[in-house]
Amino acid sequence: MFDSLSARFSSAFSSLRSRGKISAADLDATYAEIRQALLESDVALEVVETFIAQVTEKSTQVLSTIQSGSNQASAIFDVVNSSLVEILGGSARRVRFSKNPPTVIMLAGLQGAGKTTLAGKLAKFYADQGNTPLLVAADLQRPNAVTQLQVVGESINIPVFAPEAGNGIGNPVKTAKAGVEFAKAKQYNMVIVDTAGRLGIDAELMKEASDIRDAVKPDEILFVVDAMIGQDAVRTSQAFLNGVGFDGVVLTKLDGDARGGAALSIASLTKRPIMFASTGEKLSDFDIFYPERMASRILGMGDVATLAEQAKKAFDSDKSAKLEAKFASGEDFTLEDFLDQLSAMSKMGSMSKLMGMLPGGGQMKQLTKGANFDESEIVRTKAIIQSMTPRERQEPKVLNGSRRARIALGAGLKVSDVNNLVDRFSAAQKMMRQIRNGGVPAGMAGMGMPAMAPKPANIPPKKKSKSGNPAKRALEESQ
Amino acid sequence: MGIFSKFIAKIKGENAFAPSDWQDLERELLASDIGPTLTQSLLDSAHKVKSENAQEALKATLTSYLSTQSRAPITNPEGMTVVMVVGVNGTGKTTSVAKLASNIKSSGSAVVVAAGDTFRAAAVEQLQTWGSRIDVEVVSGKPNGDPASVAFDAVKRAAQSQAQYLIIDTAGRLHNKSDLMAELEKVKRVVEKVAPVSEVLLTIDATTGQNGMAQAKLFAESVSVTGIILTKLDGSARGGIALAIESELNIPIKWVGTGESEADFAVFNASEYIEGLLA
């Protein structure tokens, strides 16, 4: 039940890959597996069936020209991948800017899809690119939706046009129209109109949305949809398409563990591209939707492109350059550098989120029982380093027993935790020296994530412990 | 007449159903969001059904997947009943808190609500607006304050005003974010220092697909969910995932939300729900 789409795809394809030559029965089994996987991720049955038929036809053509089994497997994989990308929207489309500003963007969707938060994210995204957006509070239905938009606007320094208090009072059509007029007069180059959430089957509210549309003549109507939506995505998106019409789709809450299904159904049935993806609680957790990345993610190939981008954002380029220079000049990697890297890593997001983006990460997650990585391990490691003096961070050699005991006290941890870190760190340092000197390190263990590093019991002692070993002594003293 | 009824009519008559009828039935079952596994199991049962009462037999099969747990609200016989409402963002927690408070109030009990969603912009104001609409006291703290401390203060405040019920609203969170789930556990732990939490209600949005199962599973692991509020059942979605949750996790649906007003809230009715799935 909990198998993610990518895990199922991965297993379907790995069983294919292990075959010498692929038989018709192998193919049928694989398609059955893909069908089940798509259904479990909420893709509508009609879309699943069209997809499978399409893929079957294409791969039959391709297979006849290929002899070896493993090439066949990768050919099928390519067919599935390219079909997914095709349905998900080919290449990402950008918002069409109006020749006569302001460019008007109207948001529509079900209650709770995340429109108001998204309005803020969209405004920030375009303001960061040098535009001057104005937010218009035309959700006068939900209690305090107007206040929510005002708070959001304030936090990102974007003005909010909100003449009506909302909570059921005021005319949203007039508000939206006045908002656009206001933007024109004040020369904002973009207007984002937040509207009330509504059900696809509510004719009256749907009419109100189309009245807003007619009043503001938006350049883009974006349909905001929760990535967790089930089979109702079909009816709802159709109802919005017929009722208000929309030019693009925004998927929200993609940082959850539901993924793919709704996107595939909506894109395939409405033929509208998915333009943006919303991926977190912070107003900066927002990006253009990349069909190739989504398809890769669905197929368990990981989302390395996104990961690399996040890394670039999180790692301070100055610091990285300094670290590289330092490394090249023969200086040692210090605990201070390690701390910087840990901080940058925590900025990129939770380990489990990062894991999901790595190739095979889906399966790796399963190996670890789908459990979270022990995120607190990073916090603990940082606490230990932060409890050290600058000198200790530069020269871990000075860490004698009493220093270690003090650090453990400062970090609120045991002396053995401090010892572990120092041991792992010296192993990593040694390995980096080897790399620099052109040698190949004996084993990669010891480096990398603290949580993944082997337990100290697995590391053979490097030297016979001398009497007065600070680590040992501190441990004894603490007991 | 729904596709399901049409199908049943065919079984009743001549047993003349073609493979395309089975496909239609499968499509219809899948469209209710009960998921491919339950759908398969139901189709298997349907294949075995022969007789006049095919419709009843299938309804009975669906009903057999429901949880065996009691659906009655859990109260604290020794004092104030504390109810926590939890769930993913946008599933209707705040609205459900207000509706539940209104329901309890109209049954004659004194109720206080705690605005524990200190994270989302204007969530506190949203609940306060509801509070004045339904005339129920709302205890709140500072925006971005510690939700556990708001809840803790609310317990004291509710006890002072001799309320019989305290309903705690919480911030929406995705179940796969371990830090946010830990925060929720903390709220419950802190409240339980001063008063037992009798009931933890999870809001499940009827439009949610198979991910609802993961939501229910992880929230249940974190804060021992005692019941489900199935929200937004007034749309075209049928909320079939709740049946899958009942069947797999044995958590009962207790309340159903069907609209934007406080009156659009009712005790779960199993036979209406099952019929809705097959509509």
Give the total residue count for chain A: 479
pLDDT of residue A186: 96
Write out residues 381-440 of A within 8 Å (CB-CB) of B.
none
Nearest C-alpha of chain A: how many angstroms from B34?
Answer: 10
| Residue of A240, A255, A281, A283 to mutate, testing the B interface (most B Cβ within 10 Å of its Cβ) | A281
CATH class of this structure's domain A5-88 = mainly alpha
Test B119 with A236 for CB contact under 8 angstroms.
no
Enumerate the domain spans of chain A: 5-88, 103-301, 311-478
Name the least confident of A96-105, A144-153, A451-460, B230-239. Answer: A451-460
Least confident of A139-153, A401-415, A453-467: A453-467
pLDDT (0 to 100) of residue A40: 83
Q: Domain extents for chain B?
A: 3-63, 81-277
pLDDT value of residue A447: 37
Span B149-190, pLDDT tens digits? 999 999 999 999 999 999 999 999 999 888 899 999 999 999
Q: Which residue has the higher pLDDT, A463 or A385?
A: A385
Q: Percent of chain B scored above 70 by pLDDT?
A: 91
If contacts are CB pairs under 8 Å, which of residues 17-36 in chain A contact chain B?
A: 36
Residue in A2, A141, A147 nearest the CB of B122: A147
pLDDT (0 to 100) of residue A464:
43
Say whether pLDDT at A90 is over 70.
Answer: no
CB contacts, 8 Å: B92 with chain A: 111-112
Question: Which of A196-200, A212-216, A386-390, B143-147: highest mean pLDDT?
Answer: A212-216
pLDDT score recorded for residue B178: 82
In this prediction, residue A439 carries a pLDDT of 52
pLDDT in tens, A327-352: 667 677 788 877 877 777 666 666 66
ipTM: 0.86
Q: Which residue, A308, A285, A119, A89, is CA-closest to A196?
A: A119
Fold of A103-301: Rossmann fold (3.40.50)
Three-class secondary structure of residue A119 per DSSP: helix
Q: Is the pLDDT of residue A438 over 90?
A: no
Q: Is the pLDDT of residue A223 over 90?
A: yes
DSSP string, B65-118: TS--S--SPP--TTSPEEEEEEESTTSSHHHHHHHHHHHHHHTT--EEEEEE--
Angle, helices A376-386 vs A335-348, to 10°: value is 150
- The proportion of chain A whose per-residue pLDDT surpasses 90, expressed as a percent, equals 33
Q: Which of A432-441, A455-464, B73-82 holds the top average pLDDT?
A: B73-82
Range name among A407-411, B59-63, B222-226 with the lowest pLDDT average: B59-63
Lowest mean pLDDT among A16-20, A39-43, A455-459, B225-229: A455-459
Q: How far apart are CA A382 and CA A392, in angstroms?
A: 14
Using the predicted structure, report yes or no on whether residue A465 has a pLDDT greater than 50.
Answer: no
3-state SS class at B140: strand
Give the pLDDT band (50/70/90) at residue A87: confident
Q: Is A341 helix (H, G, I), strand (E, B) or coil?
A: helix
Instruction: Give the pLDDT band (50/70/90) at residue A458.
Output: very low
Residue A414 clears pLDDT 70, i.e. is over it: yes
Cβ separation B174–A42 shorter than 8 A:
no
How much is the pLDDT for A77? 78
CATH 1.20.120 correct for B3-63:
yes
Average pLDDT over residues B142-151: 88
Residue type, A459: I
Q: Which chain A residues in 184-223 lie under 8 Å from chain B, judged by CB atoms?
A: 199-201
pLDDT digits (tens, 9 = 90+) for A10-66: 666 677 766 667 777 888 888 888 888 788 888 888 899 999 999 888 888 888 787
* Paired residues of B169 in beta bridges: B85, B115
Beta carbons of B207 and A229 less than 8 Å apart? yes
Q: Is residue A197 within 8 Å of residue A111, measured between CB atoms?
A: yes
Interface of A with B in 91-110 (CB under 8 A): 110
How far does the CA of residue B33 sit from the closest CA of chain A (Å)?
A: 6
Average pLDDT across chain A, whole number: 79
Cβ of A114 and B89 within 8 Å?
yes
Torsion of CA B128, B131, B137, B140, to 10 degrees: -20
pLDDT at A183 over 50: yes
In this predicted structure, the answer to whether residue A238 has a pLDDT above a threshold of 70 is yes
CB A360 within 8 A of CB A321: no
For domain A311-478, give the CATH superfamily.
Answer: Signal recognition particle, SRP54 subunit, M-domain (1.10.260.30)
Specify the range with the lowest mean pLDDT, choosing from A151-165, A215-229, A306-320, B55-69.
A306-320
- The CATH classification of domain B81-277, taken from the options 3.40.50.2300, 3.20.20.70, 1.10.1370.40, 3.40.50.300: 3.40.50.300
Mean pLDDT of A173-179: 96
Confidence (pLDDT) at B209: 92
- CB-CB: which of B27, B178, B210 is closest to A230? B210
